Structure 1
């Protein structure tokens, strides 16, 4: 390796390290702040590590609000949305890649164009529709209103386009119908795309705040994002209890961290290899 190549490689790793630390620092600061006292958080210059870690902050924060119920609500609704979006997106993507019909490209272009609409622009009509069907303040309302994903259609379509046509033709010769071809051929070959899309969708819906806050009003049905906000504002006192807020924020994101740790291989594969499992 020449000196120039060595410098180039070293520079890349240094920049990656710096950017990685910048991305990781807020999470690190949140975790460290969760075991500080209130005085240490406000101290200047900042205290990087507490003199005596306050591990009891996690227990205290957990007992102050029904976080278990909030997390369960978010996980259940997010999983239901993921499953529905995966099935819908797979079937629509299959239709766009395997069927030939007039206006196919125009229809696909319109679907992509709808992705450019600001999300807030759809809130009023969606709210009116849910109200007409008496689905406000319900899990069904959240799930049904998120039943289709334009991003999922696009991502899976791109993955399906990578599947060799010979494999599909061979399945048709063997007598396989479209449903079997979709789930026995396309699904295994593009599994990384399904996993990547499922992870992205789960994280988005687990972290979603604005839309659920508009339609969910009952405290026992609130999602974790609403629960954190409720915890922050409760009695006007917890806004100053930053150690407890940081502790609550830390254990709230644990499901996302565990999910990514177990599925990171598939997630990276789905993003990097355009979704085809070789």
Structure 2
């Protein structure tokens, strides 16, 4: 009887967990579901708060956005800038984190404190000096300016440093005795052992750059160089081609989110491991 009672309790606990997780999942996914549903509505149906599902799905909204708007160009701009920025941030972050963890030099702790101190600055406080620097370098309104101004990620340095600190110093010393230089140690030993942290940093950096709005809006003026966030507002909302055609805005927003969903779909395993601090070493 005691065993049967424990079984009932376990079933009730699991049922409660499933109900709670299902409710949270629906609550979390509802904005995306609402966006997809709204993309299939007419303008009249969107403005009617009593209608949730469209009476006649307007698939033509997606066709209109894909083939008769510059949205695909905006997505291409964002993918290009995000990927190049990501590569540079990973390289710079890995090298700085490696130096902070495995190299001994005077002022190492002070350097890390300064780096983390800059992370506490409000992002808006860096806009004016960064804008002046880019103007002096004649990099305004260019992809190069967007990429160079985001070449280093303080968060990435911190995340990789924490991951590198989990690697036994003895392995690094053994590699040095065998004649491996710093580049080989980082590429062939440290990076594979901390792969999850690299992927976590890469995913978060990609999403941040892809969704960036304020800084690209300040330093780029040409419509053809717009990233997705500013392009969506410029063309679809801010007196653009479609004005207040919210069904087309929702269709465009759904297409913009698609690359992020695909990236997360293929990297979620390593992303979760990276958040959990897994460095790929057992025991």
TM-score above 0.5? yes
Match of 1:27 in 2: 32
2:122 alignment partner, one of 89, 109, 118: 118
Task: Trace 1:215-234 onto structure 2 (pairs within 5 A).
Answer: 215-233=219-237
Say whether 1:41 aligns with 2:46.
yes
Alpha-carbon distance in structure 2 between the residues aligned to 1:164 and 1:49 = 56
Secondary structure of 1:117's counterpart equals coil
Q: Which shifted more, 98-107 or 142-151?
A: 98-107
Root mean square deviation of aligned Cα: 1.7
Alpha-carbon distance in structure 1 between the residues aligned to 2:213 and 2:146 = 11
Task: Trace 1:164-183 onto structure 2 (pairs within 5 A).
Answer: 164-183=168-187
Q: Do the aligned partners of 2:200 and 2:270 also contact (CA within 8 Å) in 1?
A: yes
Q: In the comparison of the two structures, how many residue pairs are matched? A: 277
Shift of 1:60: 1.1
* 1:30-62 deviations in Å (ceiling 9; x for gaps): 0011011112112242x2321211111001122
Say whether 1:201 aligns with 2:205.
yes
Shift of 1:11: 3.5
Secondary structure of 1:183's counterpart equals helix
Task: Trace 1:177-192 onto structure 2 (pairs within 5 A).
Answer: 177-192=181-196
- Structure 1 unaligned segments of length 5 or more: list them: none
Q: Do the aligned partners of 1:35 and 1:50 also contact (CA within 8 Å) in 2?
A: yes
Shift of 1:214: 0.4
Q: Do the aligned partners of 1:193 and 1:276 also contact (CA within 8 Å) in 2?
A: no
Secondary structure of 1:253's counterpart equals helix
TM-score, length of structure 2 as denominator length = 0.92
Alpha-carbon distance in structure 1 between the residues aligned to 2:47 and 2:249 = 14
Q: Do the aligned partners of 1:209 and 1:226 also contact (CA within 8 Å) in 2?
A: yes
Q: Do the aligned partners of 1:163 and 1:276 also contact (CA within 8 Å) in 2?
A: no
Match of 1:63 in 2: 67
Match of 2:111 in 1: 107
- Structure 2 unaligned segments of length 5 or more: list them: 1-5
Match of 1:148 in 2: 152
